Structure 1
């Protein structure tokens, strides 16, 4: 199979952001009088912000307030987030004519603040964040919107992510899914994967 586009999730796929996420969520939830365990971090990390809040018992009408506080605290931790080993080497070896993009549940300001420091962003033909479409992963709309923008059909694209939400997004969009094993939840039961990539450079075997 020759793909025309390669689309990535960010958290747990391109960046090792769970340690920073855990620290920030713990700080913010303390303000709400709630604890945040390592198990909570493992469970909520792959979720959208709304799903995580519901799981943690934060009322939906407090979403904007909670999200704003999370982003404010996270602003001091972006330097703690790093690319996974092998990501930069992967991007340096991918075909130059391959259309590369991002589909993430991060908001635009988070993407810009957290990813601007990395040269890999120069390769992105499209970036779709949580505030770019009215629906978020696992709805297929963000991924389909990205593909529409770069004029690539779903059957000609590969979506690489670490979570069940990413897998479900790809399936709903009729896009092949590659599982980023290096960032995946060890308790997740993935069923709809075209590829399992043990490390980022494994992706090169497809291209």
Structure 2
């Protein structure tokens, strides 16, 4: 049984895939760059600035600000995954503590996550501004463990991307795949748990 559950946000708590990819595509067109949606999927799970650097764009700061504004234009396409809000409510009454490790910046969390009213369920949050190195590096997860006062053996990280799994593994923490966000188990052979739907999270604290 795990006493600490740490969650990723995009693709794990919030279904943000369409908003992230459509807004990125739109911003890139403005910069004279055309990409198919499929070519941009690598952006899911890493900080926005890292995405822009990998796309070899020069004025990263300016473009990142434009992208952050553009994402909000697609906010009607962002939802909490079905059943997850209810599970967070159940977990809030259990003897577990919850944290967040996300590649979103502090401002992005404020703009894109806080409006859903879920922030109070989490005792500690690490965002992209909090550590110099980001997923798949272990630093963000280790910082969250420290903030929660948790040990590696007592923690599980729940995420949907390969970066989440690599981050967990390098931090010496167990990893549970949120299949509702990942949509496939390919690449995730070394996941410790496969969660098919949000209610499966409860099995992590009851076994």
Query: What pairs with 1:69-148 in structure 2 (closer than 5 Å)?
Result: 69-94=66-91, 95-148=93-146
Tell me how many residue pairs correspond in the alignment: 204
Partner of 1:43: 42
Unaligned runs of 5+ in 2: none
1:143–1:196 Cα change, 3 Å: same
Counterpart CA distance in 2 for 1:187 and 1:159 is: 16
Greater CA drift, 116-125 or 100-109: 116-125
Counterpart CA distance in 2 for 1:141 and 1:185 is: 26
User: Any conservation in 2 of the 1:25–1:36 contact (CA below 8 Å)?
Assistant: no
1:35–1:132 Cα change, 3 Å: same
Residue deviations 1:105-145 (CA, integer Å, cap 9, x gap): 00000001111122321111011100011111111111110
Greater CA drift, 146-155 or 40-49: 40-49
What is the deviation of 1:12? 0.7
Partner of 1:175: 173
Residue deviations 1:118-176 (CA, integer Å, cap 9, x gap): 23211110111000111111111111101101100111100000011000000011000
Residue deviations 1:59-85 (CA, integer Å, cap 9, x gap): 3xx221121111121233334311110
For normalisation by structure 1, the TM-score amounts to 0.92
SS of the counterpart of 2:57?
A: coil
SS of the counterpart of 2:124?
A: strand
Counterpart CA distance in 2 for 1:17 and 1:89 is: 19
Partner of 2:158: 160
SS of the counterpart of 1:117?
A: helix
User: Any conservation in 1 of the 2:135–2:163 contact (CA below 8 Å)?
Assistant: yes
Which stretches of structure 1, 4 residues or longer, exceed 3 Å deviation after superposition? Answer: 185-188
SS of the counterpart of 1:130?
A: coil
Unaligned runs of 5+ in 1: none
1:149–1:134 Cα change, 3 Å: same
When the two chains are superposed, the root-mean-square deviation of aligned CA atoms in Å is 1.7
For normalisation by structure 2, the TM-score amounts to 0.92
User: Any conservation in 1 of the 2:49–2:64 contact (CA below 8 Å)?
Assistant: no
